[in-house]
Amino acid sequence: MEAKTYESAENQRYGRSDLGVTNLAAVRTAGKDPERLTNRGPSPPDLAAINGRQQQTWGSGDYTQIGSRLVLMSELLCEAVDLHPDQTVLDVAGGTGNAALAAARRFGEVTCTDYVPAFLEQARRRADAEGLAIEIQEADAENLPFPDGSFDVVLSSIGAMFAPNQEQVARELLRVCRSGGKIGMTNWTPDGFVGEFFHATGRHVPPPPGLKPAFRWGTEAGLRELFGDGVRDLTITPRQHMFRFRSPEHFVETFRTYYGPTQKAFDALDAAGQERLNNDLLDLARRWTRAGDGTAIWPGDYLEVVAVRA
């Protein structure tokens, strides 16, 4: 048995962890037959409930320790959208403020949003340390609290891609961007390291049935479906972010300790399950590393996306 006992009645019934995943081992433990559930036909996922659980999941980590290693992606994104001083800029799912700070360094008039208040506080401290002015506002990417067309530039660096209601997020990104303005995103691709990392985790703690993978945002087809005719120009540039850790063990330990989704996946497993997940993630890091000196260095593929609002 891999699953720990879940506290809430809902978790006991459906074997769901806070990660927003359904753990089939827990379904079996609760005396349900997952195949019979499947034969009844999949019911559509409750996207609002998943969004709520994911919010807790992100908030349970210390994203500062992860985000500070991803600064370059946001710096490059601001160059890709050719940010001009005094443009109004919104950072969606901004975490601890990477894209917001990159935009503020270019004299953008920036609002940083996320649905984890502690991350935004960290963004504020980082801005203060650099003497940069940014607004922070708690906001769900699926329901942005801004009027239509409020921003010249809307950014989201590996952020909005994780919200479960993808169509709604796409509508919101388009809605708050003025006509002729730009939407800039970075999105991990499904077949790169991060895709494999989530896939490996999902083998132990599977995602909710019917949920569209976040990596849809990391494909051209997915982006065209999601933005549709809301954009009149779409430039997609494949890029790589280099992961650099002291060792494969250091990588796994860092993610296990600080990255909410990984931390919660481990929390959902018993000791034996945790060891299996740990070993799988270690294998992954060992397979991907190209450092050759015992350190762990490999590329993470992502798409850098610049869309012009129709």
Ligand X SMILES: C[S@@+](CC[C@H](N)C(=O)[O-])C[C@H]1O[C@@H](n2cnc3c(N)ncnc32)[C@H](O)[C@@H]1O
Residues making contact with ligand X (CB under 6 A): 51, 54, 58, 63, 67, 70, 74, 93-95, 98-99, 114-116, 119, 140-142, 157-159, 162-163
The torsion of the CA quartet 78, 84, 86, 87, rounded to 10 degrees, works out to -70
Q: Looking at beta carbons only, is 67 or 190 nearer to ligand X?
A: 67
Q: Looking at beta carbons only, is 76 or 282 nearer to ligand X?
A: 76
- Return the closest-CA partner of residue 47 out of 210, 214, 171: 210
- Contact assessment for residue 182 and residue 307, using Cβ atoms and an 8 Å cutoff: yes
What's the min distance (Å) between Cβ of 78 and ligand X?
12
The enclosing H or E element of 16 equals strand 16-17
What's the min distance (Å) between Cβ of 270 and ligand X?
27
Q: How many CB atoms are located within 10 Å of the residue 50 CB? A: 20
One DSSP character per residue, 213-242 reads: PGGGGGSHHHHHHHHGGGEEEEEEEEEEEE
Tokens of 73: 């992606």
- Return the closest-CA partner of residue 161 out of 124, 209, 198: 198
Q: Looking at beta carbons only, is 288 or 302 nearer to ligand X?
A: 302
Residue nearest to ligand X (CB): 95
Q: Looking at beta carbons only, is 51 or 201 nearer to ligand X?
A: 51
Q: Looking at beta carbons only, is 87 or 157 nearer to ligand X?
A: 157
Q: How far apart are CA 67 and CA 113, in angstroms?
A: 15
What's the min distance (Å) between Cβ of 58 and ligand X?
4
Tokens of 191: 């077949």
What's the min distance (Å) between Cβ of 124 and ligand X?
14
Q: Looking at beta carbons only, is 26 or 55 nearer to ligand X?
A: 55
What's the min distance (Å) between Cβ of 168 and ligand X?
9
Q: Looking at beta carbons only, is 18 or 140 nearer to ligand X?
A: 140
Angle value at C-alpha 115, between 202 and 251, nearest 5 degrees: 40
Residue whose structure tokens are 């050759």 = 292
The enclosing H or E element of 306 equals strand 296-309
What's the min distance (Å) between Cβ of 119 and ligand X?
5
What's the min distance (Å) between Cβ of 30 and ligand X?
28
Work out whether the CA dihedral 121, 123, 129, 135 comes out positive or negative.
negative
Tell me the three state secondary structure of residue 140. Answer: strand
Long-range contacts, 12-15 (Cβ 8 Å, 24+): none
Q: Looking at beta carbons only, is 190 or 273 nearer to ligand X?
A: 190
Q: How far apart are CA 182 and CA 151, in angstroms?
A: 9
What's the min distance (Å) between Cβ of 210 and ligand X?
18
